[in-house]
Each structure stands twice: as C-alpha cells, then as structure tokens.
Amino acid sequence: MIVAIKGAGRMARGIGTRALAGGHEVHLLDDDPERAERLAAELAPHAAIAQVQAVADLGDADLVVVATPYPAGRDYVAGLGDLVNGAVVVDISNPVDFTTMDGLRTPPGTSAAEEMAAASPGARVVKAFNTTFAKTLETGEVAGRPLDVFLAGDDTRAKEMVADLVESGGMRPIDAGPLRRARELEAFMFLNLTLQDRLGLNQESAIKILS
Amino acid sequence: MIVAIKGAGRMARGIGTRALAGGHEVHLLDDDPERAERLAAELAPHAAIAQVQAVADLGDADLVVVATPYPAGRDYVAGLGDLVNGAVVVDISNPVDFTTMDGLRTPPGTSAAEEMAAASPGARVVKAFNTTFAKTLETGEVAGRPLDVFLAGDDTRAKEMVADLVESGGMRPIDAGPLRRARELEAFMFLNLTLQDRLGLNQESAIKILS
C-alpha cells in the first residue's frame, strides 16, 4: 500500500518506521516541506530504495494517517473536502487537555475520531495507534511482545486495511468495534498518559491485553 | 486487615482468594447466608485456620469490598447509612449495559464509583478490581506476570490500604489518581468485555501496562 502520513513528528516517525518494516511505501506530508524531507531522510535507512519520500499532496495514497495533534488533524481532513471522499483516514489523536491533565477536550459522549468523521462525512475514518507511544512504535514491541493496536471504525474494509498495516508491521491489530469505541480508547489513553510520570515509564510503556 | 466482602459470587471468590493469600482475614456477607457459608467453605483450603468466615454484618472490618453488580452495590452501601461513615469501601463494579453491549448505564461524565460516593458521602470510596476478571484473580497473574490493579480514589489513606491489599496478594497496584478516573477505568473495561468473545479470551485475559 501507499501510506500517506500527514505530519513529520514523533508519531509520524514511529508509524512510518512500522509501515516501512511492513513493506509499504510511505509518503510524508507536512506544512513545512523541509521537515517532511528531513524525516524522509531519517527513515530512509529503514526502507528499500525510493520506498519513502516527502510529497506535496495525497496523490494516490491508499491510506492517510493523520499524525497531527487534535484538533488540527480533524480540521486538516475537513479542509481537504472532496479529496478525501472514499479515502481511508486514520485518526491517531488523543484530545487530552494538557493544561489540566484532568480530562479530554472533547465533550462526554463523543470522541476525536467521531468529530473527524462528522466533519468529513465522505472519509472512511478509522481510529488506530492512539494507544501506542511513538517510542514503542520504533520497534513495534514492548517487553518482547508485539504491540497491541486497537482499531475502531464503521467501515469494515477500511478497518481491514489498517489491520493489514498493523500486522505487516509486526504488531497485533485488535478490532474494538464501531468508531464510537474511540471514546473508550481515548479515555484510557488519557489515563495512561497521566500514569507515565507517576510510574516512571517515560512513554516507553504500552497497554496490552495479555492472556 | 479484616477484609469484608459483600457478595459471594465469582468476584468475591477471586478477591477473597487474593486477600487470604496476602494473610488477611476475610469476612463474607451475602443476602443469602448459606451462599456466604458455601464460599467460606470453598475458600477455607486457601486460608489459615479461622481466617475466612461467613458473617452477618460488617462488624469491625477495615475494608469493605462491594462485590455485587451495579447498581445493587451502590444501593447496598447507601442503605448502610451511618454504618459506613469513615469506612473504606471498594467499588469493583462495571456498569455495562449488558443488553446492548454498546455502552455504560451511567451517564457520560460520571462513573459508578462516583455515584456510590455521592450516595454515601461518609464512605471513603476507592475504585479497584474492576479491570481484573474473576478467573485471573484466582492466581493473581496473567501470562506469568502479576495482575495490574488500577486504583482511583480521593482519600489517600484509603487508597493506600487498598494498595496494601493488592500488593500483599501478589499483584501490582497502580494509583490512577482521583475517584473521577473511575470513568476511564470503567470505560476501558467495558471495551475489554466486548473483546473477550471476539478474541476468544474467555475472560482469562488482563489489561496490563507493560514496559
């Protein structure tokens, strides 16, 4: 697949690394083209020739990962208008209120992912990667086990494509149900974020369902 | 400590087993006294002599674990009136709408634990054990690792007592912050419950923060 990633920060690097490990082509898009170029150069050692490049637009991407913070990601997708009609769009955001660290910026009874879908009704929005820290995505593992990547979405085929991306990158996709389950995924990752300092985990931890 | 457990079902058995493993005294209370007697007899092999017994009332319990489903547990505690003034009360409930499996019965922006505290303002309510399945509590482990037991509460000393119970039983207490963090704990366990059949986990799994 051609995986377009909007953003060139730590999550873009993590997801880009996994996508390249899975043999996909990665296109990086950033408001600052030089930033995208720098990340492409940084990821190049993980890639086969020409497998990663900075690009100017979505082009023929199969899947668009929006790796910019809430609510900029939602607004970016809405601003694309008809360009995202039918597109598989991955919302990885955590709408945490980082000033208080006491809750989410989204109202109770909804989620950032549902807000994105409402603002861009033509897009096939899938929630994924919001519970995985950037550092753990560099290897796709935690404590020697594959990361769990929870997926929520209303479009089965779109969710399968994201599951393929996850699995090909060496991680375990977990289908958590419809897009509204993003409420619970965003809630728990907010809680997990509040624990990182307290437990001295430094965002190198991961939420896993063990059995 | 003397740990009173209201209820004599699977969660009472699981938490009772851990409490006995930690060297605590377990008092079992049920609306059906014979049911409490039966569980006491079942737990007796895990206990030193006279360490577990069915009782008729809270007596001098240090800690009360309410192991009856929502909202019966909340109403039980409220019905105790002044008897729970100052008592450490552990809410383990998951207010899942089991008819739809599509959400919680509590309104958005609150939690079963906060409802219990509001109905019994004299009690020192701690949320705990809502993310641990009964079967995993029998050993206190999952995949060879100690269970994570997430705690939320507004009374520091009460939370420390529950953390002692957890730790003495061989598990890892994780202080998740104030009682309102029960919202996120209940939300994620609801999601985890929806996954059990889908992943073929049969409630023998556990949520862990791995690092």
Q: What is the pLDDT of residues B38-95, one digit of tens each?
A: 999 999 998 888 899 999 999 999 999 999 999 999 999 999 999 999 999 999 999 9
Q: Is the dihedral of CA A199, B150, A69, A36 positive or negative?
A: positive
Chain centroid, CA A22 distance in Å: 15
Count CB-CB contacts under 10 A for residue A205: 21
Give contacts of B180 with chain A, Cβ < 8 Å.
102
With CA atoms as reference, report the closest residue to B55 among B36, B39, B38. Answer: B36
Q: What is the pLDDT of residues A134-153, one digit of tens each?
A: 999 999 999 999 999 999 99
- Cross-chain residue pair B209–A201, CB shorter than 8 Å: yes
Across the interface, whether the CB atoms of B187 and A192 are under 8 A apart is answered no
Q: What is the DSSP string of B23-64?
A: T-EEEEE-SSHHHHHHHHHHHGGGSSTTSEEE-SS-TT-SEE
What stretches in chain A show pLDDT beneath 50?
A: none
Q: How far apart are CA A197 and CA B136, in angstroms?
A: 28
Average pLDDT over residues B178-205: 95
Mutate to test the interface with B, among A156, A191, A207 (most CBs of B within 10 A): A191
Q: What is the pLDDT of residue A202?
A: 86
Alpha helices in B25-180 (DSSP H): 33-43, 72-79, 112-119, 134-137, 156-168
Sequence-distant (6+) residues with CB within 8 A of B29 are: B4, B5, B6, B7, B36, B54, B55, B56, B57, B58
User: What Cα–Cα distance (Å) separates residue A103 from each residue in A106, B51, B91, B175?
Assistant: 9, 42, 21, 16
- Which residues in chain A touch residue B190, judged by CB atoms under 8 angstroms apart? 184
CB atoms B175 and A181 under 8 Å: no
How far is Cα B193 from Cα B94, in angstroms, rounded to an integer?
Answer: 10
Confidence (pLDDT) at B197 = 86
Q: Nearest by CB to A209, from B102, B180, B192: name it.
A: B192
Structural domains of chain B, with CATH? 2-199 (3.40.50.720)
Q: From residue B114, how far is each of A109, B73, B85, B119, B132 by CA, in Å?
A: 17, 12, 16, 9, 19
CA distance B204 to chain A (A): 6
Cis peptide before A45, with omega less than 30 degrees from 0?
no
For residue A147, give every residue at least 6 positions away whose Cβ sits within 8 Å of its Cβ, in sequence order, or none: A132, A136, A137, A140, A141, A171, A172, A206, A208
Q: What is the pLDDT of residues B6-41, one digit of tens each?
A: 999 999 999 999 999 999 999 999 999 999 999 999
Q: Of B102, B176, B211, which has the smallest distance from its Cβ to A191's Cβ?
A: B176
State the complex-level ipTM. Answer: 0.95
For residue B191, what is the nearest residue in chain A, using CA coordinates? Answer: A184
What percentage of chain B carries pLDDT values higher than 70? 100
Q: Is B208 exposed, middle or buried (0-12, 13-18, 19+ CB in 10 A)?
A: buried
By C-alpha distance, the chain A residue nearest B111 is: A108
Which residue in B23, B25, B92, B83 sits closest to B58, CA to CA?
B83
Q: What share of chain B is helix, strand, coil (3-state, %, to 5)?
A: 40, 20, 40
Question: Residue A76 — φ and ψ, nearest 5°?
Answer: -60, -50
Number of Cβ atoms within 10 Å of the Cβ of A16: 28
pLDDT score for B185: 98
Q: Is A191 near chain B, with CB under 8 Å?
A: yes
Q: Which residues of A touch B143 (CB under 8 A)?
A: 210-211
A202 vs B186, higher pLDDT = B186
Residues 106-135 of B with CB under 8 A from A: 107-109
Please check whether residue B33 is in contact with residue B54, taking contact to mean a CB–CB distance below 8 angstroms: yes
Asked whether the beta carbons of B112 and B154 are under 8 A apart, the reply is: no
Q: What local confidence, expressed as pLDDT, does residue A49 receive?
A: 80
Model confidence pLDDT, tens digit, residues B105-140: 999 999 999 999 999 999 999 999 999 999 999 999
By the 10 Å C-beta count (0-12 exposed, 13-18 middle, 19+ buried), B200 is classed as exposed
